[in-house]
Amino acid sequence: MISLAGRRLLVTGGSRGIGRATALLAAQAGADVGVLYHTRRAEADTVARAIRAMGRRAFLGGGDLADADRVAQLMSEVRAAFGGLDGLVVNHGIWPATETSLARMAPERWRRTMAADLDSVFLVTRAALGLMDTGGRVVMVASTAAQRGEAFHADYAAAKGAMVALVKSLAVECAPGITVNAVAPGWVATEMTTTALAGDAGERAAAGIPLGRVASAEDVAGPILFLLSDLARHVTGEILNVNGGSVLCG
């Protein structure tokens, strides 16, 4: 039912976790997929090979998306490879695992999080919109942290909160041609949360989720695919909860 046949998609943070699952599911649904990574080229290459094995085109590009020159270079490579874009999944990001009150937060941590989780979002979205025409889709990966805050991770929550405000701004700015939406996951079992969910912590996290378990990357990829698809053609500015019922917002 969901088909992305013939759509050219760019997935940031496609080397692992939610981005990897999204890139693979999108290729299964018929999309050609550009897989972006930061430093883990080997993992991203595995994803690109799997996409090609499904008979789709794959583009592979690496580097820090907070680096404006690198983003400009990547986008010209995407244009050369695909000729343009029909969809962008802004998924890359970091979650500094160390709990720190804002009163004790080093400016370096704040700046690093803002660069990785917000400046990069501005840069890659701005550049990708320049490659998109009517019918384009942007889906961002926000977080429950944007909706309810996250004590001792205020840097991350502030960046994701800004992402949600960006989605709502762009939804109107890019209408009627392009839709802009987000998913807001709660806990997802990826490398990002390996330490935080180790041992009993994983069970405690699951106990706080009405659906009774921490999400898999594939649990998040499905709703992203819906927002990318024609089935969601009249949905824009939406922040779609993908949290097993843990935060009922919206």
CA distance 12 to 242: 19
- Helical H runs in the chain? 17-28, 41-53, 68-82, 107-114, 120-129, 144-148, 154-173, 200-207, 217-228
Q: Which is nearer to ligand NAP, 66 or 174 (CB)?
A: 66
Nearest to ligand NAP of 17, 136 (CB atom)? 17
156 is catalytic: yes
The interface region with ligand NAP, picked from 34-42, 50-58, 103-111, 167-175 by CB under 6 A, is: 34-42
> Cβ 224 to ligand NAP, closest distance in Å?
10
Exposure b/e, 184-218, CB count within 10 A at least 16 = b: bbbbbbbebbeeebeeeebeebbeebeeeebbebe
Q: 2: which residues sit within 8 A by CB, 6+ positions away? A: 29, 225, 226, 229, 231
* Least distance from ligand NAP to the Cβ atom of residue 163, Å: 8
The dihedral built from the CA positions of residue 126, 61, 108 and 138, taken in this order, carries a sign that is positive
Min CB(189)–ligand NAP separation in Å: 7
Of the candidates 120, 104, 102, the residue with the CA atom closest to the CA atom of residue 112: 120
Considering the rule CB under 6 A, would residue 158 count as an interface residue with ligand NAP? no
User: Apex CA 139: angle with CA 211 and CA 226, to 5°?
Assistant: 55
Interface with ligand NAP (CB under 6 A), residue from 4, 10, 11, 17: 17
Closer residue to ligand NAP in complex, CB, 4/36: 36
Among 10, 47, 66, 170, binds ligand NAP (CB under 6 A): 66
- Site stretch for ligand NAP (CB under 6 A), options 14-22, 127-135, 204-212, 228-236: 14-22
Interface pick for ligand NAP out of 81, 94, 105, 114 (rule CB under 6 A): 94
Q: What does R_g of the chain's alpha carbons equal in angstroms? A: 17
Choose which of 9, 26, 95, 205 interacts with ligand NAP (CB under 6 A): 95
CB 125 within 8 A of CB 170: yes
Name residues contacting ligand NAP, limited to 207-246 (CB under 6 A).
none
Catalytically annotated residue among 59, 82, 156, 187: 156
Residue 56 phi/psi, 5-degree rounding, is -105, 165
**Secondary structure letter of residue 6 according to DSSP:** T
CB of 133 to ligand NAP, least distance (A): 25
**Residue number closest to ligand NAP, CB atom:** 17
Active-site positions? 156
Which residues of this protein are in contact with ligand NAP, per CB under 6 A? 12-13, 15-19, 37-40, 43, 64-66, 91-95, 116, 120, 141, 143, 185, 187-188, 190-193
